[in-house]
Each structure stands twice: as structure tokens, then as C-alpha cells.
Amino acid sequence: MRSLGVLTATIALSVFYSACSTISPGALPSPESLQFQDRSAQVQQLTRKVAERDRALQSMQTEAVMEYTAPDRHPPRVHEQITAKRPDSLRVEAMSAFSIALILATSGKHLAIFEPSKNKLIRAAATADTLNQFIQIPMAPADAVTLLLGIAPGAASLADRKPDTIAMEDDMTVASWTMPPGARRELGFRDEQLAMVRERNATGAIEYDVRYSEYQDLGGLMFPYVVDATFPVAQSHVSFHYKRPIVNGDVPDSTFVLAPPAANQQANAAP
């Protein structure tokens, strides 16, 4: 009888615990998942700040010191005057010792380069190839303008998406999102500011890696004074150190239109 009682009690306990497991809401999340949720929420908050800055920034005018290195080119520092306006208008005046050596202007699908010393105007399609040829930025004009303004392409769309992964690179928090068609965009944050934008293609190879630093407050808008970009496929590196940038100033569209020179020496570059 004692054995029968023990058996009955065991069966009752088994039924009780089985019922408890049935009505249980599920296992508690692991500490790792809780940590990811916390970090994901923090990254989303920081990404929303980038998106807000994206919406607030429309134009920039600044003097800058540009440095460029590549396997076949190692020019010295070049002083430039840069004017950028959303979405894809850009004007760069490269200075020689005593005058302007080159003027590049792009707006929409059109790009023009003027060489004052030769009184020569070149017209070309506004593509990543032509920007790389003349100002060493192998990017489409719209992406180049976005990155020169210190913001991330597509920041508004990323702000509403949880990152796929979050990792630490030294003292930088790096979040990653999958982008169509299979590319990946990575944003790095340091001291609550955007410190890095990295784009990978579908194979995982890095298309570009852009770093931002030396943030300063410009009328309530935090803005990086140093933009440092690496393009591994092209094996090139370009950096800009801004001097006294003016953001959201009045920049007429005519700024990005170059008139033919008086001597009418024009040439068309390959599209």
C-alpha cells in the first residue's frame, strides 16, 4: 500500500508539472538576448539622431585640405573650396599655389570640369567613374554629397529597422543591416556620434569605409570637421579636413553650372 501511495503521488506531481509547462508563457530570454535588445534599442536611438541630422542638412560650403593616396598617385595636400547641396549638386575648386587649378561642378546627370590654365571646359556624365578621375571619390554624386555632409546614405530607412548584428570594434559600436540586393551597410557609433559608414557588396567585400571625427556644434547641429574615406577595391584613400564650414546657407543652383570659356575650348569626356 505504501508503494501504491508513492506511485500515485509521483503521477500526480508529473501531471501538475506538465500542466504548468503547458500554460507557461515560455522560457525566460537569455542574458545574451536581453543584452542585444538593450543594445539594439540604443543603436536605433542613435540612428534616429543621424536621420534627424539627415533631414536637417541641406547644404555645406567650406574650405578644406584634401589628401589623396593611391598606388599610382601620391599628390601633396591640396587646398579646396567645397560646396555641396542635396541631393546631388557638388562644386569643388582645387587651388594651386597662386590660383585655381581646377573647377568641377556636377548637378543631376551632368558634370563639367574647367581648367583655367588651359581655358578648357570638359563635359561628362555625372558618374562614380568621372568623380574618381577628377576628385578621387569613386562614388555617384548623390552618395558623395551625402557622405561629405557627414551623414549615412539611407539613414531614414535604417532608423525604423532593428540591426541584424551588433559588435564592438575597439571603442566603436558597429551595427549592420542587410540592404537589397544582398549588400550590407554598417554604421559605427562613438560618443553618441556617427563615427563610421561602411558598405559591403553581396560577396562581403568592402566598397567604401568612411570615418567621421572632430565633431563641433554649428548652431545646435553637430557636424564632423574630418571626413576620411577608404576605397579598398580602388586601393585609394582620401581625407578632407574642413575649415570654417557653413551649413544650410543660401546656395543658388547656378553655383553648379559652369559656362563655356571665352575661347570656347570644349571637350566631351567618355560617358
Query: Could you read off the pLDDT of 151-202 as tens digits, one per residue?
Result: 888 888 888 899 999 999 999 999 999 998 889 999 999 999 999 999 999 9
pLDDT category of residue 149 using cuts at 50, 70 and 90: very high
pLDDT digits (tens, 9 = 90+) for 133-144: 877 788 889 989
> In this structure, what are the phi and psi dihedrals at residue 47, rounded to the nearest 5 degrees?
-65, -35
Q: Give the amino acid at 86.
A: R
219: left (phi over 0), alpha (psi -120 to 50) or beta: left
pLDDT category of residue 24 using cuts at 50, 70 and 90: very low
Cβ neighbors of 270 (< 8 A, separation 6 or more) are 124
Q: What ranges do the domains of the chain cover?
A: 32-268
**What pTM was estimated for this model as a whole?**
0.80
- CATH fold group of domain 32-268: outer membrane lipoprotein receptor (LolB), chain A (2.50.20)
The predicted structure's pLDDT at residue 74: 65
The predicted structure's pLDDT at residue 168: 93
- How much is the average pLDDT of 67-80? 79
